[in-house]
Structure 1
Amino acid sequence: MNFYKDLEPIRRPIKDVLAEQKLFTNFPDNWHVVVADIVNSTQAVKTGKHDDVNLIAAGSLIAAINAAKPFNTEIAYFFGGDGGTVIVPDEIVNKILSGLNAHKINSLKNFSLELRVGSITIGEIIKAGHELKVAKVEIGKGYNKSVVIGNGLKYAENIIKDNYLQDKESIEHQLLTIDSSELNLEGLECRWDRIKPLTSSLEVVCLLIEAVNFKNQSTVYRDVMIKLDEIYGEADKRHPITMNRLQLLTTFLKFKKEMMVRYSKWKIGHFLKAFFETLIGRLYFKYNWKVNDLKGQEYLEQVIAFSDTLTIDGRINTIVSGTKENRLRLLEYLNQQEQKGLLIFGHFVSTESIMTCYIENRNDKHIHFLDGSNGGYTEAAKELKPKLQML
């Protein structure tokens, strides 16, 4: 059960990890890939529900992480803008699915967003001729990231989508037996205002990049990472968030949405707690107070360091900030690689970032899921999908 927990974190840049196949290892056959993604997310974004899509998507990962927590183990997880994927041991997969299905019921009831949930074993993926290998990379103190190569997650997502369409009626019937008390999104917060880049000359770009041949993913993705560094600068330089742009937002709607996704109902106690925490938080950051041995500015530094700006799950999902000239240079490179038949890609340009947070504790255990505004990753996927269909 502790396969992933026992993996030694690799303290090297992701682009260097990609260069060495020996750093990646196979998951046990009895582990499960669990996928939760929002049905018709593109249409939801089009009707102005992008913030809700992001909140529900991040919530799916938080539901899975919380379900695993009592078992004192670790799971691999990947944020996708309109959903999330986790890879979990067999011993807890039913608990994970119960938590996600409770989140599914709540999302439909309170946000009118349908969450598609399903699973498949690693053994089934490998037996079908696909590959799935993982490395655990240390991004910062206490913050590790799963990096996956192979086409296994793509296959899992396709199978789960197909099965969902075929068995939707029976799946909906099974949901009637789900215990809504399984809903546990403790730690989910959405209290930050939309985050503009440092200057008006900068933009936010969401990128989805997929190697055409999964056998040479590592080489293709390493080359892309090197080019990103060359054009946009290292990860800290192209980060879409800066400290002086982080502003807590005290609006009734923000607190209400946080409550409805976490508890599925109005809770006056949570509202008052969140409201006063946010007011105090503003002062904490403004005057750099020290709380629990952590100053306000140090916490903001952690927010930036622990933000999920890059996911490699068989595909590169990344959000960056830079100039229009940076973007045009990168697109020129990506188009060249696409014409060579090495990769396909989708992108979307936003003016701001949006962020949903998972706070286990405020000292050193918190994760921040980022997306571009006005569609972000979901809009980037619209450009990618027709190219995928042509492969």
Structure 2
Amino acid sequence: MTQTTQSYYENLPRVTEFEVLADPACYAPLPDDWVVGVADIVGSTQEIARGRYKTVNTVGAAVISAQLNAAELLRLPYVFGGDGAGFAVWPEQRGAAENALDAVRRWARREFDIELRAAMVTVGEIRAAGHDIRVARYAPAEGVDYAMFSGGGVAWAEDQMKSGALRLPEDGMPDKEPDLSGLSCRWSNLEAKNGAILSLVIKPGVGVSVRAFAKVSRSVIAASDGSGRGGHPVPRQGPNFRFPPVGLSLEAHVSHGARPVWVQKLALLGANLMIWALFRFNIRLGNFSPQNYREEVGHNADFRKFDDGLKMTLDCDAEAQKRIEAVLRAAADKGLIRYGMHAQDEALMTCLVPSATDNTHMHFVDGAAGGYARAAEQLR
């Protein structure tokens, strides 16, 4: 196979230690004919003010869910950003990716009255504009891995989309349903155990080398590791599940299809009552072990990432927060970084679960009161 086929990303090595990913040598250039997609919610600040950040997260995760299902769950690089997402696909997948992205945009508008900006651009076009896009695979656990991006290419595509220079056109066809199989929002919010849930967005300063930014990133990661778990916001034993789940209405909008939403809510109530009983009484069902699954959630969680910068959702005590802020202020004073930070009482998770009986389930973690979106506002 050539480098332009689907296997390119699948063949990249999986890195198991997060701090190693600060090293630019971990990243490989995506082929020129691959296609990058970006999407974000218009007016996410207003949606947060209305108390709809879980909805915002669900729409952001829906972009990824639709792409994975359109690719028949083949491996592709993607990154979750709270109020949006980015991804890349091989050239033969472009048509299916555009259709899936447009379908999510229509679905978000129809189900939630949310406008989703969307754009797609080739890697070659990104490089012609003076930027690069490099990718690595981070494997926090055996069954999952998450893409890490560097080079500024995804950030450039997002900026071009927000300015209106790049836009995925709507095809004028009747509304089509995105395939969001596996997208769920059932877990209870994660309360801060150490003091506060801290959302961080850190970007390199203008003209700062990748190695200089890597040095700052390592210092931030080290400062966050006071508890020995790197500020991991998901408890070792996994999150709690209550009945009815907090995301019941959202999941009904995700999965109702041709059914009325209220009918789907009733169906989900019955299914979630059974799930609650399994977790409450630790009942095994075939190959499904509630205890093992809950523990895997923490191992599989995506709570920190390199996305043309560094993003982290951390459970921090006051001392860890002081250490982190000291590192950030010193680096910002030198012009090495720009950063935003937002503290809140809880984190939330949005999940992609291709199968509940194996360990490939994915869990995107963000602050529950604005998280990455609030932190990113401070970059401006």
Tell me how far 1:226 sits from its aligned partner: 4.0
1:135 pairs with 2:130 = no
Percent identity between the two aligned chains: 26
Q: 2:38 aligns with which of 21, 35, 39?
A: 35
For residues 142-161 of structure 1, the aligned pairs below 5 Å read 142-161=143-162
How far apart are the structure 1 equivalents of 2:206 and 2:53?
A: 32
1:9 pairs with 2:2 = no
How far apart are the structure 2 equivalents of 1:5 and 1:19?
A: 19
Tell me how far 1:253 sits from its aligned partner: 7.1
How far apart are the structure 1 equivalents of 2:58 and 2:22?
A: 31
Give the letter for the 1:75 counterpart: L
1:206 pairs with 2:209 = no
Q: 1:306 aligns with which of 300, 317, 324?
A: 300
1:177 pairs with 2:178 = no
Which runs of no fewer than 5 residues in structure 1 stay unpaired? 386-391
How far apart are the structure 2 equivalents of 1:219 and 1:143?
A: 30
Tell me how far 1:28 sits from its aligned partner: 0.9
Give the letter for the 2:22 counterpart: L
Which runs of no fewer than 5 residues in structure 2 stay unpaired? none
Q: 2:355 aligns with which of 352, 361, 364?
A: 361
How far apart are the structure 1 equivalents of 2:9 and 2:233?
A: 30
Q: Are the aligned partners of 2:226 and 2:320 in contact in 1 as well (CA < 8 Å)?
A: no
Give the letter for the 1:34 counterpart: G
Tell me how far 1:8 sits from its aligned partner: 3.2
Q: Closer, same or farther in 2 for the Cα pair 1:227/1:234, shift >3 Å?
A: farther
Q: Residue in 2 aligned with 1:92?
A: 93
For residues 53-92 of structure 1, the aligned pairs below 5 Å read 53-69=56-72, 73-92=74-93
Aligned to 2:371, the other structure's residue is in SS state helix
Give the letter for the 2:57 counterpart: N
Q: Are the aligned partners of 1:136 and 1:144 in contact in 2 as well (CA < 8 Å)?
A: yes
Q: Closer, same or farther in 2 for the Cα pair 1:287/1:263, shift >3 Å?
A: closer
Q: Are the aligned partners of 2:66 and 2:100 in contact in 1 as well (CA < 8 Å)?
A: yes
Give the letter for the 2:214 counterpart: Y
Tell me how far 1:218 sits from its aligned partner: 4.3
Q: Residue in 2 aligned with 1:289?
A: 283
Tell me how far 1:4 sits from its aligned partner: 3.6
Aligned to 2:74, the other structure's residue is in SS state coil
1:197 pairs with 2:192 = yes
Q: Closer, same or farther in 2 for the Cα pair 1:353/1:6, shift >3 Å?
A: closer
How far apart are the structure 2 equivalents of 1:53 and 1:231?
A: 27
Cα shift readout 1:132-185 (whole Å, capped 9, x = no counterpart) = 1112232210211212211111111112222368x79xx4xx34325514x110
Q: Are the aligned partners of 1:290 and 1:296 in contact in 2 as well (CA < 8 Å)?
A: yes
Q: Closer, same or farther in 2 for the Cα pair 1:75/1:256, shift >3 Å?
A: same
How far apart are the structure 2 equivalents of 1:212 and 1:231?
A: 21
Q: Are the aligned partners of 1:82 and 1:378 in contact in 2 as well (CA < 8 Å)?
A: yes
Cα shift readout 1:171-203 (whole Å, capped 9, x = no counterpart) = 4xx34325514x1101111111222123xx521
1:261 pairs with 2:254 = yes
Q: Are the aligned partners of 1:196 and 1:245 in contact in 2 as well (CA < 8 Å)?
A: no
Q: Closer, same or farther in 2 for the Cα pair 1:12/1:242, shift >3 Å?
A: closer
Give the letter for the 1:32 counterpart: V
How far apart are the structure 1 equivalents of 2:322 and 2:294?
A: 31
Q: Are the aligned partners of 1:203 and 1:352 in contact in 2 as well (CA < 8 Å)?
A: yes
Q: Closer, same or farther in 2 for the Cα pair 1:17/1:255, shift >3 Å?
A: closer
Give the letter for the 2:145 counterpart: N
More divergent stretch after superposition (275-284 vs 145-154): 275-284
Tell me how far 1:339 sits from its aligned partner: 0.4
Q: Residue in 2 aligned with 1:347?
A: 341
